[in-house]
Chain A
Amino acid sequence: MPATKTERLVNLVICLLASKQYVTKERLRATLEPYRECPTDDAFERMFERDKDELREMGIPLETGTNSALFEDEIGYRIPKDSYNLPEIRLERDEAAVLGVAARFWQQAVLASDASSALLKLKSAGIEVGDISQSGIEPRVRTETGAFEPLLQAICDRRPVSFRYRKSGEVDPALRKVEPWAIDSWRGHWYLAGYDRDRGADRMFRLDRIVGEPVLMAGHLTEPVPADMDVHAKVADFAWKQNRNVGTARLRLRAETGFLLRRRATECEQELLDGEPTGWDVLTVPRNTGMAGWLAEFGPDVQVLEPPELRAAVINRLRAAVAGNALAASDEMTHPGARIGTHSEIGTHSKIGAQAGADRSDTGEMTGATR
């Protein structure tokens, strides 16, 4: 019967909180009715052991000790008030007013209920928790990936974990044993920083690349947790590692397009042909290692001029996009005109580009950044 179990546990807490001295097991058995009614010593022992475990799982600081050096074998229990009680907190009105937002912060149920119960404790301690929802801020953080909960638990309990992890671009996940240091949410993704035991070094992991759920391992952390770790810097570094800056690139960009490229450009000049705008601009932009994919996104609005390897990389991507997204064979059979139609359409665009290109090399009339 849960009701009686609840009563028994609450009464055990009250009894141990009220006593300054350690209360022996015998005393508890004599005092608390459910223990008194146990038919055998064994039954009492089992019940009491389970109860102790449950209280500790709830985070109740149940201490074991003896009252007197003379009777060391007389083990007793108590719950010291200053370990149990929420410490005295004095919050100014404006400080308490901003706390309520924490309850709506976590979108996932488990942490949301932890935040709510923390706020409820503050309310029980007489603090008037306010809510700033009126001030127009609505925060939501998701922790939907299945790896989050076990990792959070591992961090709270300072335990090592093992999980299967699929590195970017790899087919099969591999088993990793990690001492978790920190988890960080950046641009909506969760990352784990920790010490990889098999690799003997610190590593970063993306939570959504963990396959299945991490398992808490036995034992403790062996490596010291870095004290002042800039997790954000590590995460940013990890997320952008394919994006090192490697010099500059020069591009032709169709006028009125490529806003983000223009924002990054260190030089931008209108392309002129015989003194007339060609409808294109020539830009110099900082180049990073992952840039070819980004430039391919702009399709016929961007033409890479330099460096040659970037130009080739973009051309390769575009060719692959043509090949990979070819019409199904049956469509080509039934609509033989489709390809021709496409070509003529390309013609109108390519004319501008081809002319400008030819003029640039032949006449030297180009002005601005292209020279």
Chain B
Amino acid sequence: MSGAAAQVRRLLNLVPYLLEHEGAKLTEVAGEFNVSEKQLRKDLETLWMCGLPGGLPDDLMEAHIGEGGTIHLENAEAIVRPLRFSVREAVALLVALRALAQLPGVADRDALLRAIAKLEEAAGERGAEASQRVTVAFEARATVLDRIRQALDSGRRLRLEYFVPSRDQVTERDVDPMRVILSDGHAYLEGWCRRSEAVRVFRLSRIVAIDVLDVAAEIPESAEPQDLDDGVLRPAADDPLVTLEVTRHARWVAENYPNEGVEELPEGGLRIALRAPDQGRILRLVLRLGADGRIVDPPALADQVRKTASEALALYGDAEDAA
């Protein structure tokens, strides 16, 4: 879209917005429209040149900036309503709301469903239809979400039995809940973990048991919610780097593990660099891969895979049934 087209769109929406919000402040409006105050002033100046054709003084709009940066728009009756939703706007809005509405206990589900029905109608046939063709699912069990919701609403502590796959262990933890994060198709609980005395993120599908305790949550002021821009549970920059090579049958590894880089190998194989906070996870992955993957680096981890696999093989004695 050209710069002019973006400005036209903005102005066509700015006019009804200002009519609806008489006396709105420059800073607020600039924030809403995601432009600088300088740009907003330019937009308002442009409006002085817009209006009904005819050349009479009352035909053109008048955008005054009053004391304290308040905006007052006059003679703007030519554009009273915003332009209807584009198909993409309908998709972006409705898909998001439906994805949330499918989760039990999230937000006000009943209100969400009613709002969705009304917006579908306003979106028009094409927008509503296209929005049906994009779906986002999060995995979360109702009982677990319900309890977290309860604890969040009443400010109480949760007791979790939490499964840690890389260690194949179920651990018990007391967690003061901060928020529920929906990301990458999963739901997570973020909270202050009493045991590790730090902010921790727990995947809801790995919560084996959950209870709301009769204890008030105590979240220290130092507890910072995680920045989600790079995803949840992402490896840290200083986690050790592991290099794997996989055959074409195990290209899914690159699809499923956040990685630092992928290099194509002959025959459709890949060399994948991963940051692994927990090498147990990589160990398990390579055992699973069998002939379709191996550790290139670090040698110590390759050695550990070999040892673990040898130990497992020993269970079978001289494995008469090898194929």
Seen from chain A, the residues whose Cβ lies within 8 Å of a Cβ on chain B are 2-3, 5-7, 9-11, 13-15, 17-18, 31-32, 54, 57-60, 81, 83-87, 89-92, 94-99, 101-102, 105-107, 111-121, 123-126, 132, 135-142, 152, 155-157, 166, 168-172, 180-189, 206, 208-209, 225, 231-232, 252, 257-260, 293-294, 296-303, 308, 311-313, 315-328, 331, 338, 342-343, 345-347, 349-350, 353-354, 357
Is B8 touching A121 in the complex (CB atoms < 8 A)? no
Is A259 touching B170 in the complex (CB atoms < 8 A)? yes
User: Which of the 9-residue segments B62-70, B180-188, B192-200, B271-279 touches chain A?
Assistant: B180-188
Count A-B contacts at CB 8 Å: 417
Residues of B within 8 A of A17 (CB): 78-79
12 contacts between A and B (CB under 8 A): A10-B12, A14-B78, A84-B81, A85-B82, A98-B107, A102-B92, A298-B168, A315-B319, A319-B322, A325-B302, A331-B299, A357-B317
B114 in the interface (beta carbon within 8 A):
yes
Is A136 touching B178 in the complex (CB atoms < 8 A)? yes
Q: A94-B111, A293-B290, A353-B315 are known contacts. Are A9 and B4 too (CB-CB below 8 A)?
A: yes
Is B53 touching A15 in the complex (CB atoms < 8 A)? yes
Known: A118-B93, A123-B17. 16 other contacts (CB 8 A): A7-B49, A11-B50, A98-B108, A98-B112, A101-B107, A121-B85, A125-B81, A141-B183, A169-B251, A170-B268, A297-B287, A299-B287, A315-B321, A321-B306, A322-B313, A346-B311
Interface residues of B in 71-86 (CB under 8 A from A): 78-86
Is B52 touching A14 in the complex (CB atoms < 8 A)? yes
Is A116 touching B34 in the complex (CB atoms < 8 A)? yes
Chain B count of residues within 8 A CB distance of the other chain: 128
Chain B 88-115, CB within 8 Å of chain A: the 1/0 string? Answer: 1111110011011000001110011011
Chain B 112-145, CB within 8 Å of chain A: the 1/0 string? Answer: 1011001101101000001011111111000000
A294 to B248, CA, bound (A): 19
Is B182 touching A139 in the complex (CB atoms < 8 A)? yes
Is B118 touching A57 in the complex (CB atoms < 8 A)? no
Is B133 touching A120 in the complex (CB atoms < 8 A)? no
Distance from B230 Cβ to chain A, minimum over Cβ atoms (Å): 10
Which residue of the partner chain, among A138, A169, A184, contacts B249 with CB atoms under 8 Å? A169
Residues of B within 8 A of A31 (CB): 53
Which residue of the partner chain, among A5, A83, A136, contacts B4 with CB atoms under 8 Å? A5
A5 to B1, CA, bound (A): 13
Q: Which of A57, A58, A112, A166 has the most CB of B within 10 A?
A: A58
B214 in the interface (beta carbon within 8 A):
no
Distance from A106 Cβ to chain B, minimum over Cβ atoms (Å): 6
Is A91 touching B118 in the complex (CB atoms < 8 A)? yes
Distance from A190 Cβ to chain B, minimum over Cβ atoms (Å): 9
Distance from B308 Cβ to chain A, minimum over Cβ atoms (Å): 4
Distance from B113 Cβ to chain A, minimum over Cβ atoms (Å): 9
Residues of B within 8 A of A97 (CB): 108, 111
Is A140 touching B286 in the complex (CB atoms < 8 A)? no
Residues of A within 8 A of B228 (CB): 107, 138, 140
A349 to B88, CA, bound (A): 60
A278 to B51, CA, bound (A): 89
Distance from A130 Cβ to chain B, minimum over Cβ atoms (Å): 10
Q: A5-B4, A137-B100, A325-B295 are known contacts. Are A114 and B111 too (CB-CB below 8 A)?
A: no
Is A321 touching B290 in the complex (CB atoms < 8 A)? yes
Interface residues of B in 271-323 (CB under 8 A from A): 283-295, 299, 302-303, 305-317, 319, 321-323
B138 (CB) vs chain A CBs: closest residue: A139
Q: Which of B4, B114, B295, B302 has the most CB of A within 10 A?
A: B4
A371 to B308, CA, bound (A): 29
Interface residues of B in 29-44 (CB under 8 A from A): 32-34, 42
Which residue of the partner chain, among A84, A137, A260, contacts B182 with CB atoms under 8 Å? A137
A113 to B92, CA, bound (A): 9
Q: A107-B229, A259-B163 are known contacts. Are A132 and B322 too (CB-CB below 8 A)?
A: no
Is B299 touching A123 in the complex (CB atoms < 8 A)? no
A150 to B81, CA, bound (A): 30
Residues of A within 8 A of B121 (CB): 87, 89
Is B312 touching A114 in the complex (CB atoms < 8 A)? no
Residues of A within 8 A of B291 (CB): 316-317, 320, 323-324
B79 (CB) vs chain A CBs: closest residue: A14
B33 (CB) vs chain A CBs: closest residue: A120
Q: Which of A91, A141, A260, A326 has the most CB of B within 10 A?
A: A141
Residues of A within 8 A of B316 (CB): 303, 311, 315, 353
